[in-house]
Structure 1
Amino acid sequence: MSRYYFHVENQESYTRDENGMEFDSLERARNEASDAAGEILTSDLRAGKTNVVFQIQVEDGNDKRVMTLVVTGAVAAQSRSASGQREVSSDRDEDSAD
């Protein structure tokens, strides 16, 4: 069994995992990081964030980074026009209009 540490960084903060978790393979550690990423993304979107960007840096017991998961998520606002058709807007739409 090897110990892996899962450090989380976003635009506002960096959280260092001081305890880590033990797994019998790097694949299992990657699965744990993927599950954690899904939970963080869901939590942030439910909290009303519309653009979520963060990463989970996985280190082994020797402080060597073995992988980094980069996660991005965005919510596009939808509204109905007077004709009843759906109109979708997002930051990407505004950027392409320049």
Structure 2
Amino acid sequence: MKDKVIYIVIGVLILLIIGQGLYFRYQLNQNRKVFEKGITTLKDSIQAIDSRQVKIIEDAKKNTTKASKDKKAINDKQKQDEKDIDNSTISDRDIADFLSR
């Protein structure tokens, strides 16, 4: 009888150890799934931010190029106007007529 009780106690302890191992493995698997979801969410967020940054950089390059072209056009126009003024023959009488209007 004493031997049977010892075998039963040892069996129960073995079952508890096996059950505890299975429970911890289950908990670890659940935590891994939550962690993988979090990593996937972070990865998607980083990709979205990267694509937005690429668009912002491209827009900035376009705007810089456009501004540079506009500035060059303005400078060219100003130089041409200066040349036109230098090459024109405006008399004092023309200036007086213009100012009298």
Higher strand residue share: 1
> Under a length normalisation based on structure 1, what TM-score does the superposition of the two structures give?
0.25
> Under a length normalisation based on structure 2, what TM-score does the superposition of the two structures give?
0.24
With a CA cutoff of 8 Å and minimum separation of 6, indicate the structure with the bigger relative contact order: 1
